[in-house]
């Protein structure tokens, strides 16, 4: 088989890139290790920046999002019982939207299937060959049969555990990582959200987040120990702990119900440089991870897709390689700022096992500064709604 761009990974990065390219007449093949149902079963991001929203529209998959999403003009932050708001719209004239990654991915799968562009599931042993030459190819196996795709370029959209990043030789690749000493236990429940806005809550017992998917679907998280397993937490224990970490006014209003999903995510900051090696381009979680506190994971994947899409477009439309040559530099410049924001917001809101009394006072003072200072709120708002592409 031959294609112009082989896309490894059928998560949001790979599907969005594929859809954007398809609309410009550029052929792609998407290779996904799992099944569509498996990918759609993963509950992940909930907040989209305006850049991601615009890309979904540009890809022709914005209609359901525009109908069903919820626009959020701000967020709430609490420390104990002290609750205050940061208004994004006032500071940036921009909002974010609540539209779950599951829905984003579903819309992209529907569009790909409707377009007839190829997507291969259950691909095993995907391997990238000659990415540093002029004629790269990808090999893989499906149901015991070996296959090969020849291509012009390869987009490595295969997430943190994929093969694409590993293909870049260690002599070229540099990795930066910070692993946090806690995780997030998340549940999804068919209950109305406790508040119209998200609440990022810091408390003596650790961090909590009240988020949502729609008027009757709530997503809540609590900071947990890395040694915890979801089975250690009954629903009742989860709700009790959440109530202790959010302001009393909110705890009283909280409507609880059975969880329909419960999982633990570790928290990590990670960046690999460069994001391009020859004709291989890394996109999204394949190249970088943020702790979810700033809601940046999916949104940084989208900015990579934006830079790569435009690079490929210029290459195919007018033979101009500048966008591809500068892909890594452009993508990384924005990634590092999103990494910094996610790291800062994580440090501000979580309890650390080795935290001293002094460290705690510093956190409290910084949260109070954010509560009282318009400029600090403007900085937070600019980062949360997303820096320009």
Binding site for ligand PHB (CB under 6 A): 45-47, 198, 209, 211, 219, 292-293, 295
Regarding 265 and contact with ligand RFL (CB under 6 A), the answer is: yes
From the list 95, 28, 109, the residue with the least C-alpha distance to 61 is 109
CA–CA separation, 321 and 314 (whole Å): 7
Least distance from ligand PHB to the Cβ atom of residue 349, Å? 10
Using the rule CB under 6 A, which residue among 8, 111, 208, 222 binds ligand RFL?
8
- Identify whether 176 is a catalytic site residue: no
Of the residues 140, 180, 200, 220, which is catalytic?
A: 200
Return the exposure string of 85-118: e unless at least 16 CB atoms fall within 10 Å of the residue's CB, then b: ebebeebbebbbbbbbbbbbbbbbbebbeeeebe
User: Shortest Cβ contact with ligand PHB: which residue?
Assistant: 46
Q: What are phi and psi of 352, to 5 degrees?
A: -105, 140
In the bound state with ligand PHB, the residue whose beta carbon lies nearer, of 192 and 278, is 192
Regarding 338 and contact with ligand RFL (CB under 6 A), the answer is: no
Number of neighbouring beta carbons within 10 Å of residue 388: 8
Using the rule CB under 6 A, which residue among 295, 308, 324, 349 binds ligand RFL?
295
Partner whose footprint covers residue 8, from ligand PHB, ligand RFL, none (CB < 5 to 8 Å by kind): ligand RFL
Cβ distance 141 to 147 under 8 Å? yes
CA–CA separation, 105 and 117 (whole Å): 16
Least distance from ligand PHB to the Cβ atom of residue 54, Å? 20
Partner whose footprint covers residue 208, from ligand PHB, ligand RFL, none (CB < 5 to 8 Å by kind): none
- Identify whether 314 is a catalytic site residue: no
Least distance from ligand PHB to the Cβ atom of residue 93, Å? 21
- Identify whether 310 is a catalytic site residue: no
Regarding 193 and contact with ligand RFL (CB under 6 A), the answer is: no
Task: Give me the half-sphere count of Cα atoms (radius 13 Å) on the Cβ side of residue 299.
Answer: 33
Partner whose footprint covers residue 64, from ligand PHB, ligand RFL, none (CB < 5 to 8 Å by kind): none
Partner whose footprint covers residue 324, from ligand RFL, ligand PHB, none (CB < 5 to 8 Å by kind): none
- Is the dihedral angle over the CA atoms 280, 51, 18, 176 positive or is it negative? positive
Residues 6+ apart with CB under 8 A from 135: 150
Active-site residue set: 72, 200, 292, 296, 384
């Amino acid at each position: 088989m031959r294609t112009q761009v082989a896309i490894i990974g059928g998560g949001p990065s790979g599907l969005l890139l594929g859809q954007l390219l398809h609309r410009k007449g550029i052929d792609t093949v998407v290779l996904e290790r799992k099944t569509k149902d498996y990918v759609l079963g993963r509950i992940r991001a909930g907040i989209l920046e305006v850049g991601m929203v615009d890309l979904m529209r540009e890809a022709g998959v914005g209609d359901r999002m525009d109908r069903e999403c919820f626009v959020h003009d701000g967020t709430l932050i609490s420390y104990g019982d002290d609750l205050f708001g940061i208004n994004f719209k006032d500071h940036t004239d921009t909002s974010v939207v609540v539209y779950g990654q599951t829905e984003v991915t579903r819309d992209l799968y529907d569009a790909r299937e409707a377009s007839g562009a190829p997507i291969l599931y259950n691909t095993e042993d995907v391997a990238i060959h000659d990415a540093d030459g002029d004629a790269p190819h990808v090999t893989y196996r499906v149901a015991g049969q070996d296959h090969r795709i020849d291509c012009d370029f390869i987009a490595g959209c295969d997430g943190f555990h994929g093969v694409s990043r590993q293909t870049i030789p260690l002599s070229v690749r540099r990795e930066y990582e910070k692993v946090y000493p806690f995780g997030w236990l998340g549940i999804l429940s068919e209950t109305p959200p406790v508040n119209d806005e998200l609440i990022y809550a810091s408390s003596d017992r650790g961090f909590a987040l009240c988020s949502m998917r729609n008027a009757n679907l709530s997503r809540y998280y609590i900071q947990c120990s890395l040694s915890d397993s979801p089975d250690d937490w009954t629903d009742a224990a989860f709700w009790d702990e959440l109530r202790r970490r959010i302001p009393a006014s909110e705890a009283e209003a909280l409507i609880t119900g059975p969880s329909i999903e419960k999982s633990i995510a570790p928290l990590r900051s990670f960046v690999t440089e460069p994001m391009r090696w020859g004709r291989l381009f890394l996109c999204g979680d394949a190249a970088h991870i943020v702790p979810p506190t700033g809601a940046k994971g999916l949104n940084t994947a989208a900015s990579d897709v934006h830079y790569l899409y435009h690079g490929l477009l210029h290459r195919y439309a007018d033979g101009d390689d500048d966008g591809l040559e500068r892909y890594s530099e452009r993508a990384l410049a924005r990634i590092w700022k999103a990494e910094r924001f996610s790291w800062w917001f994580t440090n501000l809101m979580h309890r650390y096992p080795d935290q001293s009394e002094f460290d705690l006072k510093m956190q409290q003072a910084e949260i109070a500064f954010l509560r009282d200072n318009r400029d600090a709120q403007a900085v937070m708002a600019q980062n949360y709604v997303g820096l320009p592409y």
